Amino acid sequence: MSVRWCPVIVSVLGLLVFESALFVDGGTTSSFVRKYEKTIDMPLDSDVFTEPPGYNAPQQVHITQGDHVGKAMIVSWVTMEEPGSDTVVYWSEDSSSQNTAEGIITTYTYYDYTSGFIHHCNLTDLEHDTKYYYEIGIEHASRTFWFTTPPPIGPDVPFTFGLIGDLGQSFDSNITLTHYEMNPTKGKTVLFVGDISYADNYPYHDNTRWDSWGRFAERSTAYQPWIWTAGNHELDFAPELGETEPFKPYTHRYQVPFEASESTSPFWYSIKIASAYIIVLSSYSAYGKYTPQHEWLEKELPKVDRSETPWLIVMTHTPLYNSYIYHYMEGESMRVIFEPWFVKYKVDVVFSGHVHAYERTERISNIGYDVVNSKCDPIKDDSAPIYITIGDGGNLEGLAINMTEPQPMYSAFREASYGHAILDIKNRTHAYHSWHRNQDGYAVTADSMWFYNRYWYNHDLHASS
Ligand SMILES: [Fe+2]
Helix (H) or strand (E) holding 189: strand 189-192
Distance 275 CA to ligand 1 centre (A): 29
Residue 37 pLDDT grade (very low, low, confident, very high; cuts 50, 70, 90): confident
The answer to whether the CB of 119 falls within 8 A of the CB of 105 is: yes
Give me the residues paired with residue 312 across strands. Answer: 277
Distance 325 CA to ligand 1 centre (A): 14
Distances (CA, A) of 357 to 11, 192, 391: 38, 15, 6
What pLDDT score was predicted for residue 461?
56
Gap between the Cα atoms of 316 and 389, Å rounded: 10
What pLDDT score was predicted for residue 459?
66
Mean pLDDT of the chain: 93
Distance 429 CA to ligand 1 centre (A): 32
Distance 319 CA to ligand 1 centre (A): 10
Residue 460 pLDDT grade (very low, low, confident, very high; cuts 50, 70, 90): low
Q: Is the pLDDT of residue 465 over 60?
A: no
The number of C-alpha atoms within 13 Å of 373 and in the hemisphere containing its C-beta is 8
Distance 156 CA to ligand 1 centre (A): 34
| pLDDT tens digits along 288-344 | 999 999 999 999 999 999 999 999 999 999 999 999 999 999 999 999 999 999 999
The angle formed by the CA atoms of residues 108, 114 and 116, to the nearest 5 degrees, is 80
The angle formed by the CA atoms of residues 136, 139 and 141, to the nearest 5 degrees, is 65
Residues whose CB falls within 8 Å of the CB of residue 4, separated by 6 or more in sequence, listed in order: none
| pLDDT tens digits along 51-109 | 999 999 999 999 999 999 999 999 999 999 999 999 999 999 999 899 999 999 999 99
**Annotated active-site positions, please?**
327
DSSP assignment letter at 52: P
Residue 8 pLDDT grade (very low, low, confident, very high; cuts 50, 70, 90): very low
